[in-house]
Amino acid sequence: MATVHNEAKKGDIAKVVLMCGDPLRAKFIADNYLSEVTKVNQVRNMFCYTGDYRGKKISVMGSGMGVPSMGIYVHELYDHYDVDTVIRVGTCGSFSKDVKVRDVIIAMGACSDSNYASEFELNGTFAPLATFSLLDIANTVSRSMKLDYHVGNILTSDVFYHEPNYSYKKWSNLGVLGVEMETYALYLKAAKFNKKALTILTVSDNLETKEETTSEERQSSFNKMMELALEVAYLDD
């Protein structure tokens, strides 16, 4: 059943979906890692492709930027398309000199400055987490790939351009590894629908050291992250 944001029919989207903020990154994964690929959605240019990875049907789709956009698309995947697992493949800024540019972060949990969880009318603050089985697979595969990676907490922020007096150190002092803009919504929706979710990120810049990746370095690092995510998707059952 199509939605106002997704023209795919029931069965067009696989049970396991990789989600990228940038729809063109979804296209890159489909073009370079999947075979027998079909584009199943292009509404608002939020591309979704379904193909074969080592004999397993996998879809890859854009999510757009920010909590609201991720919330819409992942809600529909879980609720309308019977997707079981969503793995976010994205980038983040690091809060620590020990979490270097080009390192991979596997997000165990997500803090947030967003008000997104207010829709659940909870009498407290909900701490959304990754699905442990996916986290465990990602940890094992990362070791086998000999990646420079970290497992821990991240911050999902609604704000990209902060005011001059903003300090990320309040988060880093609590052990938060870095910042991005979508995972909090992904993990909340996974909890709501009792589905599986994991975020895998490449550090593209470091707020502490001011180091940034070049375009060539980002391409190489992103490939490692994509390959890790695909292996996790393949091993997910």
Share in percent of the chain as helix, strand, coil (round to 5): 35, 30, 35
Distance from C-alpha of 79 to C-alpha of 25, rounded to nearest angstrom? 24
Distance from C-alpha of 73 to C-alpha of 56, rounded to nearest angstrom? 22
Q: Is residue 72 domain-resident? A: yes
Token pair for 104: 């991979």
Token pair for 19: 């989600």
Read off the pLDDT of residues 67-103 as tens digits, 9 standing for 90 and up: 999 999 999 999 999 999 999 999 999 999 999 999 9
Q: Is residue 10 domain-resident? A: no
Q: Is residue 41 domain-resident? A: yes
| Catalytic residue of the set 31, 113, 205, 236 | 205
With b for 16 or more beta-carbon neighbours within 10 A and e for fewer, the 139-159 pattern comes to eebbeeeebebbeebbbbbee
Cβ pair 227, 164 in contact under 8 A: no
Q: Is residue 2 domain-resident? A: no
Q: Which whole number is the average pLDDT over 141-168?
A: 95
Q: Is residue 165 domain-resident? A: yes
In CATH, what number is assigned to the domain containing residue 168?
3.40.50.1580
The domain containing residue 139 runs over which residues? 16-235
Q: What is the percent of the chain where pLDDT is above 70? A: 97
Q: Is residue 227 domain-resident? A: yes
Q: Is residue 184 domain-resident? A: yes
Q: Tell me if residue 205 is catalytic.
A: yes
Distance from C-alpha of 50 to C-alpha of 173, rounded to nearest angstrom? 41
Read off the pLDDT of residues 24-59 as tens digits, 9 standing for 90 and up: 999 999 999 999 999 999 999 999 999 999 999 999
| Domain total of the chain | 1
